[in-house]
Amino acid sequence: MYYSEEIIEEVLSRNDLVDVVSEYIRLKKQGSSYFGLCPFHNEDTPSFSVSPDKQMYYCFGCQAGGNVFTFIMQMENYSFAETVKYLADRANITLPQPEYSAEVKKALKEKEILRNIHKEAAKYFYYNLQSERGKVALEYLQGRKVEEKIRKLFGLGYANADYDDLYKYLLYKGYDEEFIAKSGLVIPRKTGKGYIDRFRNRVMFPIFDVHNNIIGFGGRVLDDSLPKYMNSPETQLFDKSRNLYGLNYARTARENNILIVEGYMDVISLYQAGFKNVVASLGTAFTYQHAALLKRYTNEVVLVYDNDAAGIKAALRAIPILSSAGLKIKVLQIPGEKDPDDFIKEKGPEAFRDLIMKALSSVMFQVNVVKAKYNLENLEEKIQFTKEVANILAKLNSSIEIEVYSEQIAEETGVSKQSILEEIKKLRAIRQKENRKINKSSFSTNESENNLKSSSQQKADEKDGLYKAQLNLLRLISQNETIYQKIKDYLSFSEFIDPVLSKAAKLIYESYGEGRSIEAAKIINHFENLQEQNQVATIFNEEKSSVKEYDVEKAINDQIKLIKRANIDLKSRATTDIYEIQALIEQKKQLEKLYINIISG
């Protein structure tokens, strides 16, 4: 553990999960739980549930689950230590100096080395840009009117055309090949040993996290080769779905909104023109993690995508994602399908600022996109247009917004506002009915629902029923102390073969042994790795089974036999002692006679 269990429990108790999750997504109370759109995958119908009693969350769509620590680790891409500090700061708790395990020290050291490698690479690229061999790259940036102070501020550089230029330089600086490879800045040679540079003959854009650490790079070609832009791969430092280019500057811009553009050069051009509140996604579609990240620094965003088919499609895709995080959204469309850089060079910063002031609401932008598909002079097309617009308005939460937009559409189409409101009411009723169906099926206690797991565990189940047996037994034990009391003398926690489930079993057994109830959130805290936390969370995510007691008893006996048999097989493969082998064979025979009476005792 990084901190004592007392500190962890204090941080946990003073950060209510419903409150924390509500800072990222909208939640609505339904029964004893809260529901919202899952921030970890795209969905239209809320399947993300938060239990205030258990202090646990679970998504019935993607099977993500855990406690408040798990949630922040997933949302912010933080380590466990960073998460504890974040939540402690949120609750105004002063933390003692952390106690680092050897494993944690190693992980932190690796990250530090990788950050230093990226910093060294950025210096090298920047030096190259000023040298003779970077002349073409410098001319390109000068041609784009990027000023020297801006080049320096963003750390722009140049990757030489040589195959292993940076690789050799980093070796010369004393970095181990293992860490150079982990940085993602090099790739293995196709033949022979060693590595070659990932980026060659490209203008280089360092990618900073919000703390101004360089975590990756983007590179733009200087010829016609493809891909035109290339980013660093996913590494221990870099996750493109959780970082935004320029956010390190935009978050301190002190503006009432943040502009979202398409690429590096758009960010740089707008920043140079005085718009410091600008970010871009890193070669990937906009994600819920991006939206949650932005929500930490602003309540309003302005989408500034190209006014072409691809730009319109990207904006339409981003709107529901941004909305789910509770952000107000506007859409700026530049006349004549120009990009922001071209527009500012032609019209000037003030003209661009005027465009921002006149940006459409996300609703009217969607309405205009729909309108472009129809001829409103045609009766049938007018009806279709009005129905599509009603569908857009039906998704709004504000009755005032619905009223205002309905009136505007009524004026435009000649269809009465009352008719539009009736259509919206009908669509909302249909949606609510569908939601109830999904929520009901989500809480269904039939056997197939009870075996929901994350995709990685599902694959493990398909491959090996042994994992499923261990998970199901732990699930039943954690829900029912009586079952634990009946089987504890027949199956020890050490017999659980999966190492994570074995540790969880030990904690559950110890809790019961000490007369304590099972508190899922506290057990999850004993696991610092996010993947392990998610794995353990599946033990506690499911509702109690409603299958008959006899079926439960038979399943428990079958699962215990499967686990004990697997342990015997493991021991058999590990020994050459003939007497031990004979003893194990006898144990296997006796195992077939084992039957535990769960019902009658």
> pLDDT averaged over the chain?
86
pLDDT of residue 66: 85
pLDDT digits (tens, 9 = 90+) for 208-237: 998 899 999 999 999 888 889 999 999 999
Question: β-pairing, 300-303 with 360-361?
Answer: unpaired
CB of 106 closer than 8 Å to CB of 24: no
Instruction: Give Cβ neighbours of residue 539 (< 8 Å, ≥ 6 apart).
Output: 471, 474, 475, 478, 501, 504, 520
- Express each pLDDT in 316-353 by its tens digit: 999 988 988 889 999 998 887 678 888 998 999 999 99
Residues ≥6 apart with Cβ < 8 Å to 293 = 76, 242, 243, 244, 247
- H/E stretch holding 51: strand 48-51
Q: Please say whether the beta carbons of 35 and 46 come within 8 A.
A: yes
Q: How confident is the model at residue 293 (pLDDT cuts 50, 70, 90)?
A: confident
Mean per-residue pLDDT, 165-176: 96
- Say how far apart CA 28 and CA 31 lie, in whole Å: 10
pLDDT at residue 447 is higher than 50: no
H helix or E strand, kind and range, residue 18 = helix 17-22
pLDDT digits (tens, 9 = 90+) for 51-62: 998 888 988 888
Phi, psi (degrees; rounded to nearest 5) at 221 = -70, 160
CA 538 – CA 501 distance, rounded (Å): 10
What was the pLDDT predicted at 539?
Answer: 84
- pLDDT band per the 50, 70, 90 thresholds, residue 600: low
pLDDT band at residue 440 under the 50/70/90 scheme = low
pLDDT, mean of residues 37-41: 84
Distance CA 193, CA 465 (A): 41
Distance CA 162, CA 157 (A): 15
The burial of 574, by beta-carbon neighbours within 10 Å (0-12 exposed, 13-18 middle, 19 or more buried), is given as exposed
Task: Quote the tokens at residue 184.
Answer: 């993602």
The helix (run of H) or strand (run of E) holding residue 197 is strand 195-197
- The pLDDT value given to residue 306: 82
- Cα(484)–Cα(473) distance, rounded to whole angstroms? 9
Q: Is the peptide bond before 320 cis (omega within 30 degrees of 0)?
A: no
Neighbours of 532 (CB within 10 A): 18
* Tens digit of each residue's pLDDT (9 = 90 or more) over 242-275: 899 999 999 888 788 999 998 999 999 999 999 9
pLDDT at 197 over 60: yes
Residues near 503 by beta carbon (within 8 Å), at least 6 away in sequence:
526, 527
8 A C-beta contact, residue 391 and residue 427: yes
Sign of the torsion angle spanned by Cα atoms 257, 258, 260, 266: positive
Return the H-helix or E-strand segment holding 87. Answer: helix 80-90
Q: Name which of 296-300, 391-395, 440-444 the model is least confident about.
A: 440-444
Average pLDDT in the 531-540 region? 80
Give percent of the chain above pLDDT 70.
91
- Amino acid identity, residue 20? V
Q: For residues 47-51, give the mean pLDDT.
A: 91
DSSP state string for 556-578: HHHHHHHHHHHHHHHHHHH---H
